[in-house]
Amino acid sequence: DTAVSQTPKYLVTQMGNDKSIKCEQNLGHDTMYWYKQDSKKFLKIMFSYNNKELIINETVPNRFSPKSPDKAHLNLHINSLELGDSAVYFCASSQDLTGNQPQHFGDGTRLSIL
């Protein structure tokens, strides 16, 4: 049973296109996150949602729009893709916002912009 699953695993597309990445967790967690890992493996938080409500938006361009239809899902839609968007995007979840519980990560979506 995969705890945090992301689809697709790989995404190759042209500059200017719009794409979505889906994330689902079956852990019953309240809080979900999106992270971006660049080519140097540096990991940066993008968004945090708690019970479907946006908590954190870390100065991410508004071309990136997260959507949480329920607390088990947090999808990421990206408009007008740019070369600099090429990265690995990780979804994660944690029990709640207290921060004393570990985050559980999906295996990532590798986005390549041509």
Q: Which residues pair with 88 in a beta bridge?
A: 37, 110
Q: Which two structure tokens, joined as six digits, stand for 50?
A: 């708690």
**Cα 63–Cα 67–Cα 71 angle in degrees, nearest 5:** 155
DSSP class of residue 29 equals: -
- Shortest distance, CB of residue 2 to other proteins, whole angstroms? 10
Binding mask 19-58 for other proteins (x = CB under 8 A): ---------------------xxxxxx--x------xx-x
| Among 75, 106, 111, 113, contact with other proteins (rule: CB under 8 A) | 106
DSSP code, position 70: S
User: In the complex, which residues of this chain contact other proteins (CB under 8 A)?
Assistant: 4, 40-45, 48, 55-56, 58, 90, 92, 97, 99-100, 102-108
